[in-house]
């Protein structure tokens, strides 16, 4: 999606970031392309005035604290924020590239070796997040940007400290996106463990290599039913043989039966090496593959293109009670 001009009602700046155009929007607010005083590009998320209340500020403040805590080459870096402003805002590193969902829908599924490379990259990044005592809780294709230097994870708005006893949701309420949600998360089980991110990564990799999710239905509530139904297995149709054991394990209904993220990295390496390739080589091919296709579709005026909001089928369910 091409960056569009600011609307008359849009603020010209947020903090020290000048706003240059609109990137996209979500349920909570608008995302702008910004620029720091030193010329650093940024993605600036601004909460809509209509949804600014004490709870939304508290959640936004939690996202800010999470981003201050984590770092890494595969995490969109924190650049600045103000949760107490009249319009709360958050600035992160700008990644010039589409999200994985839009890339797959535009160009088709990734080859198995590139899917394995993506799995190794993201599993390693999530390991670093977990090492900080955090869970992402909303990993999905729309939250992985395929940038010119490789994939980066964004949107830690639902991230939670694994040992925290403080919850911003009421008992039996679920926050997240059902298409990539682990059964225990959809069922409202607390506390959640690192296994929920393993499941979500498995759902993401399934989409990357086939173009479909473990469970699909007409509405988010129907998806919730399929995810939590013990008699409904994930749909692994179209998965290449070499990835079936890995995705079967990652999408196991029992959280204890899923591999650790370290095991995921090792299994992805095995898939890559079985095809006569080294992991570093596969990672470079992944970046060249996604960046090359994006470059061929760049508009003639040279403006960057991005894909930020989740596609319609990726719509988050902000709060719902599981059946």
Q: What CATH code is carried by the domain that includes residue 265?
A: 1.10.510.10
From 52, 76, 93, the end of a domain falls on 93
Q: Per-residue pLDDT tens for 82-98?
A: 999 999 999 999 999 99
Q: Please give the tally of structural domains in the chain.
A: 2
Question: Is residue 74 situated within a structural domain?
Answer: yes
Residue 297 has pLDDT above 70, yes or no: no
- Same domain flag for 108 and 134: yes
Q: Please report which helix (H) or strand (E) contains residue 79, including its range.
A: strand 78-82
pLDDT at position 69: 85
- Last residue within a domain, chosen from 48, 63, 93: 93
Asked if the structure places residue 242 within a domain, the reply is yes
pLDDT over threshold 70, residue 298 = no
Q: Is residue 124 located within the same domain as residue 193? A: yes
Look at residue 275 and tell me whether its pLDDT is greater than 80: yes
Is residue 229 part of the annotated active site? The answer reads no
Q: What is the pLDDT of residues 25-54, one digit of tens each?
A: 766 789 999 999 999 999 999 988 877 888
Residues 17 and 143 in one domain: no
Could you tell me if 83 and 111 lie in one domain?
no
Are 187 and 176 within 8 A, CB to CB?
no
pLDDT exceeds 70 at position 121: yes
Domain presence at residue 144: yes
Q: Tell me, what's the pLDDT at 144?
A: 97
Domain-terminating residue out of 93, 119, 151: 93
Round the average pLDDT of the chain to a whole number and report it. Answer: 86
Categorize the per-residue pLDDT at 268 as very low, low, confident or very high, splitting at 50, 70 and 90.
very high
- Residue 18 and residue 107 share a domain: no
Catalytic hit among 99, 138, 155, 197: 138
Kindly report, residue by residue over 136-161, the tens digit of the pLDDT.
999 999 999 999 999 999 988 777 65
Residues 262, 284, single domain; the answer is yes
Domain match, 24 and 50 both: yes
Q: pLDDT at position 304, please?
A: 39
Report CA torsion sign: 290, 293, 296, 297: negative
At 176 the pLDDT is 63
Check whether residue 224 and residue 151 sit in a common domain. Answer: yes
* pLDDT-derived band at 323, boundaries 50, 70, 90: very low
Domain with 133, as residue range(s), is 100-297+309-320
Q: Which CB contacts under 8 angstroms, 24+ apart, belong to 57-65?
A: 57/83, 57/84, 57/88, 58/168, 59/157, 59/168, 60/88, 60/90, 60/157, 62/159, 62/168, 63/90, 63/156, 63/157, 63/159, 64/90
Give the N- to C-terminal CA distance of the chain in Å, as an integer. 36
Q: What are the residues whose beta carbons fall under 8 Å from the beta carbon of 227, sequence distance 6 or more?
A: 178, 181, 182, 183, 186, 214, 215
Identify whether 2 is part of a domain. Answer: no
């Amino acid at each position: 999606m091409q960056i569009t001009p600011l609307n008359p009602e849009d603020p010209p700046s947020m903090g020290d970031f000048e706003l240059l155009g609109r990137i996209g929007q979500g349920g909570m607010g608008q995302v702008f392309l910004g620029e720091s005083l030193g010329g650093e590009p940024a993605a600036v998320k601004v909460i809509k005035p209509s949804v600014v209340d004490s709870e939304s500020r508290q959640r936004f403040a939690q996202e800010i604290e999470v981003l201050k805590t984590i770092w890494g080459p595969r995490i969109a870096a924190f650049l600045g924020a103000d949760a107490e402003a009249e319009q709360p805002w958050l600035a992160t590193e700008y990644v010039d590239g589409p999200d994985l969902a839009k890339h797959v829908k535009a160009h088709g599924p990734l080859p198995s070796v590139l899917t394995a490379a993506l799995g190794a990259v993201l599993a390693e990044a999530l390991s670093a997040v977990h090492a900080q005592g955090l869970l992402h809780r909303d990993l999905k294709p729309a939250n992985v940007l395929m940038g010119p230097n490789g994939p980066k994870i964004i949107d830690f708005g639902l991230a939670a400290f694994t040992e925290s006893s403080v919850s911003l949701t009421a008992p039996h309420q679920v926050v997240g996106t059902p298409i990539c949600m682990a059964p225990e998360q959809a069922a409202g089980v607390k506390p959640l463990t690192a296994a929920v991110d393993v499941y979500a990564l498995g759902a993401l990799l399934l989409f990357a290599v086939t173009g479909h999710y473990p469970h699909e239905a007409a509405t988010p509530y129907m998806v919730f039913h399929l995810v939590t139904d013990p008699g409904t297995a994930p749909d692994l149709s179209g998965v290449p043989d070499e990835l079936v054991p890995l995705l079967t394990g990652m999408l196991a209904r029992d959280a204890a039966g899923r591999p650790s993220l370290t095991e995921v990295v090792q299994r992805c390496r095995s898939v890559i090496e079985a095809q006569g390739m080294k992991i570093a080589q596969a990672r470079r091919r992944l970046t060249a593959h996604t960046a090359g296709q994006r470059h061929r579709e760049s508009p003639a005026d040279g403006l960057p293109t991005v894909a930020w909001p989740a596609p319609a089928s990726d719509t988050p369910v902000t709060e719902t009670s599981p059946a």
